Amino acid sequence: MTMPARTRDELLSALFWQVEIGADAAFLDSPPGAAETTPLAAFMPTAKKADTPPAAAAMPPEKSGPPLKSGRAFSGLPASQPAAHPDLNRLDSLPALQKALADFEGCSLKHTASNLVFADGNPQAKIMLIGEAPGRDEDRMGLPFVGPAGQLLDRMLAAIGLDRSQVYITNILPWRPPGNRTPTAEETALLWPFLRRHIQLKAPQIILALGGSSAKLLLDSQTGILKLRGQMREVDFGLPARLPVLPSLHPAYLLRSPAQKKLAWADLLTLRHFLDKLPPDKTDPDAAMATESARSNPAGD
């Protein structure tokens, strides 16, 4: 089957949309009798076409502009398909934010995922866990961390006297990337304003960033997670006070590299120490207990 005739801009938009959904190869039939297909360069703007308006010929930038914390980074979409974010500052509750995400049509991940994965746990908890992206099990059930990595996370929390009723869990992306691939910089930049508003509405006492993608986004850093982990930093998310962010290893990584659990255990003890120093009226009394038996378990599992 041959492709219908399209303009250059339509072809470019289709190409970038396929990149957004994770396609890494394209196969087109040659027209009957043709010796070869038209090269892609024929659809790209060239310096010789001086009469082509700059705005029409410009390709989308490859790098984000302002820092991610500003919420104005490049959306990753072609110029002909702008991502129209709603006025997030007008959203005054977590259910309103969830509905805004469900209605948002500016991210192609929505059209390849089965469910929106918004959050799980206690909205009143003082600890906010932020992972990377939903996997297959999470996409099927519409909840974060419900697969094998989620089961390990539950055991990690139990090791310091916590469970899901005492934490609030979400991801930097609410939709599963195709094939469980790592989120792209464009996808995280596009959905960063929603996550930033999520943090503002939740207003936790501390954020535990699970995994490299989460830590790099929240800390606006390109440093690897093995160097970032364990170092608590305060970040301005547009709240009255800066929030402490503690990067740690993702449970899925720990399943692949169990020897690194000792590092994650050290991070959990740092989190427990922080919680124990909070005033009694700022944390759940049931969460303010770190037993000696938990501290004596060096595996954290």
CATH classification at residue 235: 3.40.470.10
Asked, for residue 197, whether it belongs to a domain, the answer is yes
272-301: pLDDT as tens digits:
999 999 987 544 544 444 434 444 454 544
Asked, for residue 88, whether it belongs to a domain, the answer is no
75-122: pLDDT as tens digits:
333 333 345 688 999 999 999 999 999 999 999 999 999 999 999 999
Which residue range is the domain that position 201 belongs to? 109-279
Reported as half-sphere exposure (CB side, CA atoms, 13 A), residue 188 has a value of 24
Asked, for residue 289, whether it belongs to a domain, the answer is no
Asked, for residue 285, whether it belongs to a domain, the answer is no
Asked, for residue 291, whether it belongs to a domain, the answer is no
Number of structural domains found in the chain: 1
Asked, for residue 159, whether it belongs to a domain, the answer is yes
Structure confidence at residue 15 (pLDDT): 62
Structure confidence at residue 86 (pLDDT): 86
Q: Which residue has the higher pLDDT, 54 or 227?
A: 227
Q: Return the residue matching tokens 């502009």.
A: 65
Asked, for residue 43, whether it belongs to a domain, the answer is no
Q: Which residue has the higher pLDDT, 134 or 64?
A: 134
pTM for this predicted structure: 0.68
Asked, for residue 21, whether it belongs to a domain, the answer is no
How many Cβ atoms from other residues are within 10 Å of residue 245's Cβ?
Answer: 23
Please list, in sequence order, all residues whose beta carbon lies within 8 angstroms of the beta carbon of residue 228, skipping any fewer than 6 positions away. 212, 215, 216, 219, 221, 247
CA-to-CA distance for 267 and 263, rounded, in angstroms?
A: 6
Give the pairing type, strands 120-121 and 243-248: unpaired
- Sign of the alpha-carbon torsion through 268, 205, 72, 93: positive
Give the N- to C-terminal CA distance of the chain in Å, as an integer: 55
**Contact (Cβ atoms closer than 8 angstroms) between residue 230 and residue 77:** no
